[in-house]
Every structure is written in structure tokens, then in C-alpha cells.
Chains A and B, each alone.
Chain A
């Protein structure tokens, strides 16, 4: 039977709206466990977490949804875009970590526009049921929180409509998503009840079995319900999948292995003759969700990550950086051969920047940035960029490099302000711009050092 359209009665401008606010403090455990995954894209039974929140907002009658975070939303914006795939208008805004519900409403006053607004605040899983009509709940619940847990709440702002006596409000339960353990248990719970309660990805001719696109299943492979299998998966001969198994996308399960009560995250290879039970596997890491203990497999035949090939833009950048490094090596080689032994013997050039600039040799070495010379061969090997973040910086999204963008620009070279300019250029700078920025860094570094010495 077709579902009724989720349209709010009355004027569109006064229709229900939803603010989804997620703060980094609640999702830091995801960053620790899966550094390359945006926490809002954490898959729960092969469906990104954010999609559960969007689905619930739609079930509650929202046509306009705004996603708020004190962290970056760029990756989410690229995936969810304007929300047209859900038939809603999705917008994005930033908040501060300390903002409460009052501030959220104040900072998004134009969006809320006096309408009834639902605030989904925090990193929590909403245990909804798609068969229930949450528009009743959204329209008639009193202003204020209606459900809360340790990591968030659901609240309403704006005047409710008077409730009719024969309209019972559906119960709603929210579960904190605060650890690998909760992530595992929520995924298993969804797997058990998914088809009935949630909109899950994948095809299934029978309940409890959802299979994605381009899944190759060997004749002797066995699938025991309930299971959820993503896209581009290979199940080789003799494998046993399930019961209670979530297999992500781009996964290979090699011959004779069995997976039960476990989650295999995207881009993971599981070797031959392995038995995985009650675990989470991600890349080459195997995690016990109950204790949080993890082990990174050294042997790529057992467990390993499946990496996509380097794209052409990255290759172009690496090539240009390597050429720039080669030119710098040629230019700096003779000064280094002359000055390095001299300064080394005097104890003025150890590992790190040349700090003393009293004599001619030190001044010359500093002006030519010879202290960065030992790092240049790493650019040729592709281990460092010529310009990016400060050397040895390993923050997510940063590109460790010989020279930093902060040195090239008029910014402090250390602390959080340096990270701002480095992140800006990591996104906006082209490989050819990088050459210009490297020259700027070479010019600005001695200038800054002199300014610092003068101060």
C-alpha cells in the first residue's frame, strides 16, 4: 500500500522545520576509531548515520532541514547536497561547541521563521518506526524536550497544535551513540528489525536479507539471515555470511571464511579460512566492540584495507612538488656542502631550524632555508609535499610538507591559527599555486625570523 505523502497541512512557510545539531565532543570516539570517516557518515547497517536523522525529520513532517555542527560539514554537503534526493530542502550552518538549544534557535532565527521546529541535538540514534506517523508527535508535543539521553535530546520549539483526544502520540526512544559498543549493538538491532522499521539500502527478495549492487556470490557461498551486504562485494567459494552479519561496500571475503555477529566496514579484505564472530573489521584492524580492544593485522593475507588508486590530480601535484624539490636540491646543494660542515662543527646547526644568526654563515644558511634541505628528498619519494602543513603534522586533512602555508602567508606559524591557513590552502591551492606559495615561504621565512629576533 503506498505511503501517504509527508506533507504538512497549511501554509508552507509555517510547515514543520528541523534543526539537526551535532557537536564534535560527542563524536570524538568515531574520529579516534575511524580517522578517515566523517562521524555523520558512520554506517549503521550500511546506511550512514545522518540519513537516519534525515529520515526521521521527514517522518515528522519536515520539508526544510538544517544541519548544524561545530566541525566541518563540507564532506556531508558534498554527499547530501541540497536534500533533493529526499524531496526536502537541506541547508547547512555552523555553531559553536558551547551553544545550547536557545542559541541554536537564535542563530537560525531566519530559518525557523516562527514555525514549529524540531531540534535533534546530539549524537544519538532515534529508534523510530517508519510505519508510524510522527507528524502527530511533532505537531502536538509540548514545547521543550520530549526525549533525552546522555549524548543528546529531541526537543520542540514553537506553539503546538491542540491535540485531539483520539490521537495517541507514538512513543520515541533515543539511544546514545557514544562508543564502538553502542555502534555495534545499534547496528545489530537494526539488522534484526530493519526492513519493518527503517528504510535500509539494498535489495532483498525475502525479509532479513538486503543485498546491494554488483555483489558476486560464489555457488558454494552460504548466506544465513539476517544479513546486510553493501555494493561491490565478492563472496568467494565456501564463505559463510551470517547470521547477524553486516558487510559494507567494496569488501572481499576470501575462500572458506565465516562472518557472524560481526560488522565488516567498507574497503576491507578478509583473508582465507578466517572465522570472525562478534567483531568489527575495518581495513586491517579487528576490533572487539565490547572491550574496545583492537589489533592491527600486519599480514595483508589475513586482513587489509582496499585502497582506491591514486587519482590524476594527486599524481600531478606530487609530480610538480617533486620537480620543485629537485630544483631546490640542486640550488641548495652547494651552499649545504660548504656551510653544513662548518656550522655543524660549531654546534650551530643541529636537527631543526637554525636559531643563532650572529655570524655570516648562519645568516646565509637561514636566508637560504638550508635547515629544510634534509626534508627535500622525502618530497622526491612522495612522503612529504613541498608546501602544505608544518613538517610532521599528522592532523586529518593536513598535508605534511617541507614548507607550510602559514610561513608563506602573513600568519603565525604555530598553534591553531596556522592550522586555519593550512586547511584553507589544502582545499583551494592548485599544484601551480603551490610553487608560488613555496617561493613566498622561502622569501618570508628569513624575514619572519629577523622580525622575531628583533622583537
Chain B
């Protein structure tokens, strides 16, 4: 798995490429924007090819910590297999999910600024 971070003034765009599972979840948790609880991030999942329960656990855990610090995670560009994991586990209710990273970016920059 490779993680790329693009930092803006209000939030960071994190692009995940590859698999988020038990073996890669620690790397994900330790990446700078993810580890910073007060930083809102847009996670681009376009190139994520697999997500298991450990990866999902990492995402939910990070979301919980960020929400406690009044930040959040926005997800974008989920492919159907990854969306299915969110769908069956009911975690889709927890996240803001966008079909376009630019839309998520705009949402983070405008809507969340008013919080």
C-alpha cells in the first residue's frame, strides 16, 4: 500500500493505493495527516483494491478520534467492491462519501469551515 498526502490550508487529501488490511493498517494509522486528530482529511479510495475488517477498523478508529477533535474524514471515489464493505457493515452511515474527490475537497473547504 502506498499513501500520498496533499496538504491544503483547511484539510489534507490522502490517496491510498493498494490494500488496506491487517498488515497495512498500522502504516495508515501512522501517516501524518491521519495521526493528527485535529486534521480533516479527504481519503481518495479510487486506487484502493481491497479493504478488510482490520482496514475498516482502522478507518472507523481514526474517524472516532478525529470527531472527538472536531475534525472528520471524507471518503471519495469508492469502487464497487470497497463500497460493498461499507454497505454491509453499515459504516456508510458514519462517513461522508463522495463520488468525486474535487466535490469532497470543496465540501471540506466550504461546508466544514462553518463548523
Interface set of A (CB-CB < 8 Å, partner B): 70-74, 92-97, 106-111, 405, 409-411, 416-417, 419-421, 423-428
- Closest CB-CB distance, B57 to chain A, in whole Å? 6
Q: Are A424 and B98 closer than 8 Å at their CB atoms? A: no
Contact B83 A108 (CB under 8 A): no
Q: Give chain B residues whose Cβ lies under 8 Å from the Cβ of A426.
A: 88
Interface centre among A96, A109, A405, A424 (most CB of B within 10 A): A424
Q: Given contacts A410-B54, A411-B57, is CB(A70)–CB(B88) below 8 Å?
A: no
Residue of A nearest to B74 (CB): A107
For the complex, what is the distance from the CA of A421 to the CA of B90, rounded to whole Å?
A: 10
**Which B residues are CB-close (under 8 A) to A409?**
53-54, 57
B53 contacts which of A96, A97, A424 (Cβ < 8 Å)? Answer: A424
B53 touches A73 (CB 8 A): no
Interface of chain B: mostly helix, strand, loop or mixed: helix
Q: Which residues of B (61-100) have their CB < 8 Å from a CB of A? A: 80, 83-93, 95-100
Q: How far is the CA of A108 from the CA of B100 in the complex (A)?
A: 7
B54→A110 contact, CB < 8 A: no
Residues of A with C-beta under 8 A to B97: 93-95, 107
Best-buried of A72, A106, A405, A427 by chain B (most CB within 10 Å): A106
In the complex formed, the residue of A with least CB distance to B96 is: A96
- Residues of A within 8 Å of B90, CB to CB, are 71-72, 416, 419-420, 423
How would residues 91 to 112 of chain B score, 1 for a CB under 8 Å from any chain A CB and 0 otherwise? Answer: 1110111111011001100000
Which of A110, A111, A419 has the largest count of B CB atoms less than 10 A from its CB?
A: A110
Measured CA separation A97–B92 after assembly (Å)? 10
Measured CB to CB, the closest approach of chain A to B113, in angstroms, equals 15
Knowing A70-B92, A73-B87, A106-B107 touch, does A111 contact B53 (C-beta < 8 A)?
no
Can you name 14 A-B residue pairings with CB atoms under 8 Å? A71-B90, A72-B87, A72-B90, A73-B87, A93-B97, A96-B93, A107-B98, A409-B53, A420-B89, A420-B91, A423-B90, A424-B85, A424-B88, A424-B89
B99 & A111 in contact (Cβ 8 Å cutoff): yes
In the complex, what's the smallest C-beta–C-beta distance from A236 to chain B, in angstroms? 41
The interface residues of chain A lying within 8 Å CB-to-CB of B93 are 70-71, 94, 96-97
A410 near B57 with CB under 8 A, answer: yes
Does B14 count as interface, using CB distance less than 8 angstroms? no
Distance to closest chain A CB from B107 (angstroms): 6
Please tell me the number of chain B residues within 8 Å of chain A, measured between CB atoms: 28
New A-B pairs, 15, CB < 8 Å, besides A74-B84, A421-B57, A423-B89:
A71-B90, A74-B87, A96-B96, A107-B96, A109-B99, A109-B100, A110-B100, A111-B99, A410-B54, A416-B90, A419-B89, A420-B56, A424-B52, A424-B85, A426-B88
Q: Within the complex, what minimum Cβ distance (angstroms) separates B90 from chain A?
A: 6
User: Which residues on the B side are within 8 Å of A97 (C-beta)?
Assistant: 93
Q: In the bound complex, what is the Cα–Cα distance between A411 and B60 (angstroms)?
A: 10
Question: What 6 pairs across the A-B complex have the smallest Cβ distances?
Answer: A94-B92, A110-B100, A109-B103, A110-B99, A420-B89, A424-B53
Contacts of B89 in A (CB 8 A): 419-421, 423-424
Q: How far is the CB of A109 from chain B (nearest CB, A)?
A: 4
Nearest-Cβ distance from residue A301 to partner chain B, whole angstroms:
39
| Chain A neighbourhood of B53, CB < 8 A | 405, 409, 411, 421, 424-425, 428
Task: Determine if A109 and B98 form an interchain contact, defined as CB atoms under 8 angstroms apart.
Answer: yes
**Given known contacts A409-B53, A421-B53, is B87 in contact with A108 (CB within 8 Å)?**
no
Closest to A420 in B: B89
Q: In angstroms, how far is the closest chain B Cβ from the Cβ of A320? A: 20
CA distance A234 to B53 in the complex (A): 46
- Find A93's partner among B57, B83, B106 (CB 8 Å cutoff): B83
Distance in Å: Cβ of A117 to nearest Cβ of chain B? 13
- A106-B103 in contact given A94-B97, A409-B54 (Cβ < 8 Å): yes
A416, A420, A427: most-surrounded residue (chain B CB, <10 A) = A420
B83's partner among A94, A109, A417 (CB-CB below 8 A) is A94
